[in-house]
Amino acid sequence: MGLGPEAIQVGAWNVGKSNGKKKKDEEDGGTGCWIKFRFMGSCLSSKAKVDGSISGSGTSTQYAESKSTNDTSKDQPVVPVVSSSTTSYAESAPSTPNVAEELKVASQLRKFSFNELKASTRGFRPESLLGEGGFGCVFKGWISENGTAPVKAGMGLPVAVKTLNHDGLQGHREWLAEVNYLGDLLHPNLVKLIGYCIEDDQRLLVYEFMPRGSLENHLFRRSLPLPWSIRMKIALGAAKGLAFLHEEAERPVIYRDFKTSNILLDADYNAKLSDFGLAKDGPEGDKTHVSTRVMGTYGYAAPEYVMTGHLTSKSDVYSFGVVLLEMLTGRRSMDKNRPNGEQNLVEWARPHLGERRRFYRLLDPRLEGRFSIKGAQKALQLAAQCLTRDQKARPLMSEVVEVLKPLPDMKDMASSSSYFQALQAERAGSSTNVRNSSRMHQGLSRTGQPTRTLSASNAQHASPYHLNQRNLSPKPREQSSI
């Protein structure tokens, strides 16, 4: 899974900090990652400090290489009660001795020993730590190209090794789901599971290394915005991954936790879905839905699923619409740092999705007009269709793919549009007029305090509003967090 030299957000591994961790973490500042390895009767506790550590609100940490500031508006878990934790809750279960009966291992998966993975990650030392959270810790390792033997760093195949924290929220059942789904499902837009380790009560997974990390990191944590064509390429790749799960896999699969932190990027920005711990088999035969506990992440879960627990592939389509909207606007699905009325992205954007002449206002201002006009209109229309409250009216993911296919290559940039240039000039002129007006009506007294310079002839006709206009100027626009 995608971990690399760039700053990467741990959410890509769905390993956010959980409220259920033991107080030992809190006593040590909450920034460490405690992994308990019970192997041959021994217990190894490894604590690793991570730059950009967990904030007091329980947000996920950055990866070890990251230096960016924590964001307090992280994904929140759906259910069954509101929580400030960023971990997506899962139907966890304790370790079980009946592993052989539950584990349906695909033949192509490699079976690692614990000592091999320990050696490949240099003893799970802090320098190899990539992230931590409710599931456990993620380390970078190096293995031989075609086997399980550890090799020297920089040689062989780079991998990401995810451990199962025995004290975390996500447990054995999610580990099994990850192995059983990714062990059988092979697709260019699904992250590749290379192998696993199950030894005594150890549970580890080995994934391909994704050098560009998570989409979430690129959208919200990097100073340079993703170009329009790259955003649409990522959207198309992620849509292909969901379409494969819903319509092409031997048995339909509902992903159930589609969000920016679970979309990983390879060196060429090809999108791959990661973390199948919450995935469920889709309904078969005459069944219209799967009844299950409500799991997922606040801001992404479909409203009918939250209300009823009835899970369908259209639940994933709704989540895709949320992510597409995040990519178009540069805003998080839930952001408590924004003003009231703008904290929920879908509710803020929904009234404007059908306005063809005002769609510019929805798009990420950091793009600065470097986006396709027709492409943006089509993408916003598609987001609106995916987000419709009537799940039956939402498109199939294969239909979503067809709409997205031409978008990355569209060249009608808004920056060269006369309408967009006029709109920008109008905005600039409006700002200039406000500044000039303020200068005309405001001076400084000898004491340095602002005072009005109205003439005697018009002072008697000046309204109280005019005299206090400086106190009513609009607040500057809030910029998207990055």
pLDDT of the residue at 7: 34
Catalytically active residues are: 257
**Averaged confidence pLDDT in the chain:** 74
The correct CATH number of 110-208 out of 3.30.200.20, 3.60.20.10, 1.10.1740.10, 3.40.190.10 is 3.30.200.20
User: Of residues 238 and 38, which shows the higher confidence score?
Assistant: 238
Domain spans of the chain, in order of start: 110-208, 213-423
Whole-Å CA distances, 326 to 11, 335, 470: 16, 11, 35
Superfamily for domain range 213-423 = Transferase(Phosphotransferase) domain 1 (1.10.510.10)
pLDDT band at 457 (very low <50, low <70, confident <90, very high): very low
The Cα 71–Cα 199 span in angstroms is: 37
Q: What is the 3-state secondary structure (H, E, C) of 154-169?
A: CCCEEEEEEECCCCCC
Q: Is the pLDDT of residue 139 over 90?
A: yes
- Determine phi and psi for 62, rounding to 5 degrees: -80, 170
Residue 366 DSSP code: G
Per-residue pLDDT tens for 241-265? 999 999 999 999 999 999 999 999 9
Give me the half-sphere count of Cα atoms (radius 13 Å) on the Cβ side of residue 217. 30
pLDDT of the residue at 273: 96
The Cα 454–Cα 472 span in angstroms is: 18
Q: What is the mean pLDDT of residues 88-95?
A: 43
Sorted by sequence, the CB contacts under 8 Å of residue 358 that are 6+ apart come out as 352
Which of 205-209, 275-279, 405-409 has the least mean pLDDT?
275-279
Structure tokens of 129? 């730590």
Is residue 162 annotated as involved in ligand binding? Answer: yes
User: Of residues 151 and 291, which shows the higher confidence score?
Assistant: 151
CB 383 within 8 A of CB 404: no
pLDDT of the residue at 314: 96
Per-residue pLDDT tens for 309-332? 999 999 999 999 999 999 999 999
pLDDT of the residue at 110: 93
Per-residue pLDDT tens for 23-44? 444 444 333 343 444 333 332 3
Q: What is the mean pLDDT of residues 438-462?
A: 45
pLDDT of the residue at 356: 75
pLDDT of the residue at 99: 54
User: Of residues 213 and 235, which shows the higher confidence score?
Assistant: 235
